[in-house]
Structure 1
Amino acid sequence: MTDTAAASPARLAVLTSGGDAQGMNAAVRGVARTAMSRGAEVFAVYEGYQGLVDGGDAIRRFAWGDAGNILGRGGTSIGTFRSKEFRTRQGRLKAAKNLVERGIDRLVVIGGDGSLTGLDAFRAEWPGLMDELADAGLISPEMAAAHPALMIAGLVGSIDNDLVGTDTTIGADSALHRIVDAIDAITATAASHQRCFVIEVMGRHCGYLALMSAIAGGADYVLIPELPPADGWEEQMCAELRRGRAAGRRESIVVVAEGAQDRTGEPITSEYVRATISRINGEDARLTNLGHVQRGGKPSAYDRWASTWLGYSAALEALTAGPATEGVVLGIRGSEIVRLPLAEAVARTRRVPELIAAGDYDAAMGLRNEDFTDMARIFTELTHPNRVTTKEDSPRVAILHAGGLAPGMNTAARAAVRLGIARGHTMLGVRNGFTGLLRGAVDELGWEDVEGWTGVGGAELGLRRDVPGVEQFYAISRALEDHRVDALMVIGGWNAYQAAHLMQGEADRYPAFRIPIVCVPATIDNNLPGSDETIGADSALNEIVDDIDRIKQSAAATTRCFVVETMGRHCGYLALMGGLAGGAERIYLDEDGIGLDQLNQDVRWLRDSFGRGRRLFLAVRSERASESYTTDFLGRLFEGESHGLYDVRTNIIGHVQQGGEPSPADRLLATRMAAAALDVLARELGADEPTARYLGLRGGRIEDHPLAHMTEYVNSVKRRPRTQWWMELRPVVAAVGREPSS
């Protein structure tokens, strides 16, 4: 090989295959722009594997601007196809010829398990395909020798979320948004008519969408493939629906996965469920099959930033792989990208329906992630509780909110109340935070008192940001004694944690504080110790992304620069993740600071970029990124240096980030956190010396930590953790947002 050939850039192709999923475009953009930022030449394969087979114009050179406006689109802009021809060796021979003729020997595929199986087979056959093509004279021996291996990376695009070994797949979160939105809407009309609705959702072999939407939507019953109901389930289901009506519910919702079946393997259709309810309960049940709307619509904030991160990682994987590198599929587990052996991951995923068919449901559930198994247990407890009779000496658990408002607080309170009652506790609600507690605003909460709170924004119990001072501790201790509070659950943000920490520190002076206390993280800022995610942050991100989408659309007919400010105080989570999901070219954080040299570079780059034909630029600034270089200052700076090439608009999103209904992810996190908080309180109630704890989600697992040591892990001045996992995504922002110089 000549020096010139050795110096030639790597060539990488990307394709989408199988069923479409929201977020595929974000992944394609992540792959393409990351590869370009590393000096590679990128090709898009249109219409999936069929495009590889057909060649010609189906394999096109991809430029930076080709990925410029696809981030927020649903579906896949490069098309998909279930190619029968590629399944044959002759089809793969054509595909290999079309790739190698263009000098391409690196391939990223975004699709389901069938697509990834085809990718792994293609990689394994590649050396033999090269030999066959060379022997037939279809390519030169030199060409075959220059491309001895196919380097690959796979990403799972599937709304079913069925890949074993990861927490979520591309498209699942967006599909959950579609389903929960539909359940919320159907619930409203069902309540108007006191009617039962049966809702069918996708999921042939995986009950993720059905189970999670049932919990997030406050449904009464769910049927999923992994847990077929026991014999006689029809009577039990109808009895549960009648019990709900007797308790005051005006509507009933049953969610059915399309692959639901009984323990003999017979399908349980949604129509059968509807007819059963009508027959046994004597009511006019209605059926709604959501169908392909679950795949449609724009991707959620999560499916934008996570898919971009996955695309970035897949591009690096394919570009750095060597000829001997085995094929991998990349996924997200907790707050990390994981590399799984492709063949093994697909085999384990396909093992689940085999176990279901064999009746080994425990093993099938064992292959699902911890979140799935936890939620299956929690849903049963919420909807079919084995209620423990409350006794006079039952533990009295009080719930209060504190700090700033976060969507999902009502969901957490509702789950805590119902799970607490099911476990035999007396549940108390404190009105208006610690201010209400010191005034004795404490009421007993019953099962029906929290009806309908699942998807409601705000905080029905009320809250205050106030942190009680030492002079107020006596009144608070008296209130705890007067209402015989045995344990305290504090749901909130930084001020909530600070108040609980101060109480715990004064336990020697005030015996009433010597009770189990657990803090549940709920703040849009995502700035609490020990947790990758906090309740409310995902809802805020979706609000930010929706606003950015609308802001961008306002510039459709002009050349414009936008500077958008998010909330977050000194924590840049919302700015960085919102900017990544919204397609920002620049993001300004307090963690990094803003300097004059940086601004000079950005202004020069901005002016040069618009001079080369750019039409839109987006900068996102965290609200306290700099005391001097404010959002208004940045807007005036950029406009002053525009030389007439563009105009500038600034936008401060404001408190809408705290408003609105909680997203499905926040409803699920709130429910799971509430259950874990009750577990901690139950454990501490039985301890000789109960302690105060705080919860956190790490690597997909909920952990609890001693509140006394909280300050060791935070920057108390900046009010954020010392370690913030999402700061590792800054290179992703740079790779997809900063076009290499022409």
Structure 2
Amino acid sequence: MSEQEQLRIGVMTSGGDAPGMNAAVRAVVRTGISRGCQVFAIYEGYEGMIRGGNLIRPLSWDDVGGILHKGGTVIGTARSTGFRTREGRREAAANLLAHGIDRLVVIGGDGSLTGANLFRQEWPELIQELVAEGRISAAVAARHPFLGIVGIVGSIDNDFSGTDMTIGADTALHRITEAIDAIGSTAASHQRTFVIEVMGRNCGYLALMGAISGGADWVFIPENPPEMEDWQSHICEVLRKGRASGRRDSIVVVAEGARDRQGNPITSQEIKHLLEERLGEDTRVTILGHVQRGGAPSAFDRWMSTLLGHTAVLELISTTPEREPHLIGIRENRVTRVPLMRCVTDSRAVTEAVTAQRYEQAMELRGRSFGESFRTFGTLVQPQPQPLQNGERRLNLAILHSGGPAPGMNTAVRVAVRVAADHGHRVIGVRNGFQGLIHEDLFDMDWMSVSGWATLGGAELGTNRHIPEGSDLYQIARTIENHKIDGILMIGGWAGYQTCHRLYSERHIFPAFNIPMICLPASINNNLPGSELSIGSDTALNNIVQSIDRIKQSAVASRRCFVVEVMGRDCGYLALMSGLASGAERSYMPEKGITLKDLQEDLEEMCYWFGRGKRLSLMIRNERANPIYTTGFICSLFEEEGGSLFEVRQAILGHLQQGGDPSPFDRIQATRLAVRCVEYLIEQGRNEETEGSFIGYKNGKMQIFKLEDMPRMMDAAHARPRDQWWMALDSVSHDLNHRMDHKQA
């Protein structure tokens, strides 16, 4: 493509900053370069577009190296009143044309994206005005007849329709959850009450999900104010009963835009005074403020933003004057393209509904999962469960783990226990997995027995990978009969799935197994059928990415290659996604294996770039990528052949990937799945013929599958699902981390 024909793309960040914006900018630049385009950064948002000059300049491949892990936006952002005027937009058009730019990636919020669409609509007229003024020639105008735009939402509030998550929301939720966890420990020590104010304006996502993740006792959100007129007395009564039942602390989360049914603001200070006056509580207020948008982005915000930026460039390359602009978003791990202005209109409809006090409509517009989460939270914060409904049989439901420990297991148990108890059923805890059923190591679990479990990592019930066989099955059947168990919830990994399938298959021999059982996916390896993400995998990914950040800081002081070994068994999810989120040059995975040719190509590329000033190279290796080409072997090979060009170090992360408190995503996912599992067991408990099942999120929605279908959905020999959605992302990682220069040299 000649210089005159070369597509020139501008990328800008506008409005409030959000962690993950830099990952999107990096993806736009490198994808554009790899597709033969020239990419320009427009510094300081629309203000930079109006001022022009040095605020619009080209970015090279290396210019966006080392920004993936940084918070904020390296190209700056600003509010621009000038762009709201036609004169300002005409000046912006002139500055873009001075660089030959007629394609824009706009990363921002509602106002930024609306402004971009207006700019696109006015473009032909603005161009003609510039021709009439003599500022551009007719030939220039002819070469740039239309402006192509694509939008990506950067907003920590997660307040935009058309995408499940906006850039920065997951990171903000991490900050909020970390704060609630930290405050919870000091609150319990002193038996205090804390009121925590979070951001959100007209969107209660951060407040609600932060409250669920942090195990808070009450939440105020803009979309659903307290329904009762004297809500002050109600909240005080609930918190009083909670203390009476044994809670040592109370945590109330307030969204900054919270209000009552009459539209009057509900402030954190108002709640503080209320609780002090009516309960005599020692109450403190913590306003998290801008700490919520600061700091390094989470693993999710890195890989999601990378995918959005990559797709945005592909969209711009193929755009036409007739094609309406699109928003690039994400739905259940899949990148989507949705008409931009439809998303803007739908987003504003929620704000309008809240302002007009149409709260039922506001909740409906937020989506079904948001409403379900709010109702679930209402159940979890009750001081005691509701009594059993008249005429309904009380069920004995057993809960256990199996497989390796995964962060989020305890969250799922807490939710399952409280939801089952709130329906009036008995919950039996089983210690140490199916071994507990073999040895009758069982105990009753009540409402307060899981207090504080929402935030705990590990597995308080204990777990192991033992798969029962032979006489073990007889002992399990006896235990089920002796304790009159009516249903089993297994929260765990592949060993648990195999065992439940075995019990289901042996029903014709052991009638005791003819009870409903359901498997909830919990495994850091993300290797389970029927679910695109298992509980614990997001936490493990964050642990890996945080470790790699530290490794990279130590490596850039000298020329080094790091080979980082991660877990995953025979599933490459952690290797591939951590590579995408950290900017690794290569992810070695069991699905693709490792060949000597792969190692030779990687070595040649490293030598080429280290010889031209490169300071860091990063390789991620799954623990079972190849039995011969081990991490140690690869390090030795690179060290020997690299000579004096670079040093080589290995980092085997080991079990730190399984440790730590669960991420907000894992807590929320565990909550939603546990609620549905308990509901399923209760529904099945009413039937004479029961089923064995497993649950997960698949193709954008929660689904329940039959255990008999498990063999066809799994590659049993390698203990991984046949459908691995993430494998399609390997090409994206390659595009963004392997420049073609050395192959052309």
* Distance in 2, Cα, partners of 1:110 & 1:259: 24
* Distance in 2, Cα, partners of 1:702 & 1:254: 30
Query: Which residue is equivalent to 1:170?
Result: 167
* Distance in 1, Cα, partners of 2:58 & 2:565: 36
Query: Which residue is equivalent to 1:156?
Result: 153
CA contact (8 A) 1:204 1:258 kept: yes
* Distance in 2, Cα, partners of 1:657 & 1:390: 43
Query: Which residue is equivalent to 2:519?
Result: 519
What do the CA deviations read for 1:118-161 (whole angstroms, capped 9, x no partner)?
Answer: 11111111111111111111001000100011111110000000
Query: Which residue is equivalent to 2:591?
Result: 591
Query: Which residue is equivalent to 1:99?
Result: 96
CA 370–576 in structure 1, closer or farther in 2 if over 3 Å, else same:
farther
Stretch moving more, 626-635 or 16-25? 626-635
* Distance in 1, Cα, partners of 2:34 & 2:2: 21
Query: Which residue is equivalent to 1:294?
Result: 292
* Distance in 2, Cα, partners of 1:563 & 1:115: 41
Query: Which residue is equivalent to 2:356?
Result: 358
What do the CA deviations read for 1:408-429 (whole angstroms, capped 9, x no partner)?
Answer: 0000001100111011110110
What do the CA deviations read for 1:175-203 (whole angstroms, capped 9, x no partner)?
Answer: 00000100011111111110101000000
Query: Which residue is equivalent to 1:37?
Result: 34
Instruction: Map 1:617-656 to 2 at 5 A.
Output: 617-656=617-656
Query: Which residue is equivalent to 2:73?
Result: 76
Q: Which amino acid aligns with 2:129?
A: E
- Consecutive unaligned residues in structure 2, runs of 5 or more: none
1:606 to partner: Cα distance: 1.2
CA contact (8 A) 1:442 1:483 kept: no
* Distance in 2, Cα, partners of 1:284 & 1:700: 44
1:688 to partner: Cα distance: 2.5
1:284 to partner: Cα distance: 2.0
CA contact (8 A) 1:216 1:664 kept: yes
Q: Which amino acid aligns with 1:382?
A: L
In structure 2, which of residues 104, 107, 111 is the aligned counterpart of residue 110 of structure 1? Answer: 107
Query: Which residue is equivalent to 1:18?
Result: 15
1:357 to partner: Cα distance: 2.1
What do the CA deviations read for 1:8-37 (whole angstroms, capped 9, x no partner)?
Answer: 321111000000011111111111111111
* Distance in 1, Cα, partners of 2:144 & 2:639: 50
1:314 to partner: Cα distance: 0.9
Query: Which residue is equivalent to 1:373?
Result: 371
Query: Which residue is equivalent to 2:715?
Result: 715
1:444 to partner: Cα distance: 0.6
CA 481–604 in structure 1, closer or farther in 2 if over 3 Å, else same:
same
Query: Which residue is equivalent to 1:189?
Result: 186
Stretch moving more, 155-164 or 636-645? 636-645
* Distance in 2, Cα, partners of 1:417 & 1:569: 31
Q: Which amino acid aligns with 1:141?
A: A
TM-score in terms of structure 1 length: 0.98
1:249 and 2:244 are equivalent in the alignment: no
Query: Which residue is equivalent to 2:497?
Result: 497
Query: Which residue is equivalent to 1:260?
Result: 258
Instruction: Map 1:274-673 to 2 at 5 A.
Output: 274-384=272-382, 387-389=386-388, 393-673=393-673
Where has structure 1 moved over 6 Å in runs of 4 or more?
A: none
* Distance in 1, Cα, partners of 2:193 & 2:378: 19
Query: Which residue is equivalent to 2:729?
Result: 729
In structure 2, which of residues 226, 230, 236 is the aligned counterpart of residue 238 of structure 1? Answer: 236
1:5 to partner: Cα distance: 5.8
1:386 to partner: Cα distance: 6.1
Q: Percent identity?
A: 53
* Distance in 1, Cα, partners of 2:367 & 2:579: 29
Q: Which amino acid aligns with 1:606?
A: M
1:325 to partner: Cα distance: 1.9
1:349 to partner: Cα distance: 0.2
Q: Which amino acid aligns with 1:263?
A: R
CA contact (8 A) 1:166 1:369 kept: no
CA contact (8 A) 1:335 1:699 kept: no
1:358 to partner: Cα distance: 2.1
* Distance in 2, Cα, partners of 1:46 & 1:103: 17
1:4 to partner: Cα distance: 4.6
* Distance in 1, Cα, partners of 2:311 & 2:214: 33
In structure 2, which of residues 248, 270, 279 is the aligned counterpart of residue 272 of structure 1? Answer: 270
1:643 to partner: Cα distance: 3.1
SS where residue 677 of structure 1 aligns? Answer: helix
CA 575–5 in structure 1, closer or farther in 2 if over 3 Å, else same:
closer
1:523 to partner: Cα distance: 0.1
SS where residue 388 of structure 1 aligns? Answer: coil
1:609 to partner: Cα distance: 1.3
In structure 2, which of residues 219, 222, 227 is the aligned counterpart of residue 225 of structure 1? Answer: 222
- Consecutive unaligned residues in structure 1, runs of 5 or more: none
* Distance in 1, Cα, partners of 2:611 & 2:46: 38
1:393 to partner: Cα distance: 4.9
* Distance in 2, Cα, partners of 1:637 & 1:88: 61
SS where residue 415 of structure 1 aligns? Answer: helix
Equivalent residue pairs, number: 739
In structure 2, which of residues 25, 29, 32 is the aligned counterpart of residue 28 of structure 1? Answer: 25
SS where residue 563 of structure 1 aligns? Answer: strand
In structure 1, which of residues 188, 209, 212 is the aligned counterpart of residue 209 of structure 2? Answer: 212
CA contact (8 A) 2:385 2:418 kept: no
CA contact (8 A) 1:390 1:425 kept: no
Stretch moving more, 215-224 or 368-377? 368-377
1:561 to partner: Cα distance: 0.6
* Distance in 1, Cα, partners of 2:2 & 2:481: 82
1:390 to partner: Cα distance: 8.6
CA contact (8 A) 1:403 1:465 kept: yes
TM-score in terms of structure 2 length: 0.98
CA contact (8 A) 1:165 1:369 kept: no
Stretch moving more, 204-213 or 223-232? 223-232
SS where residue 534 of structure 1 aligns? Answer: coil
Q: Which amino acid aligns with 1:457?
A: G
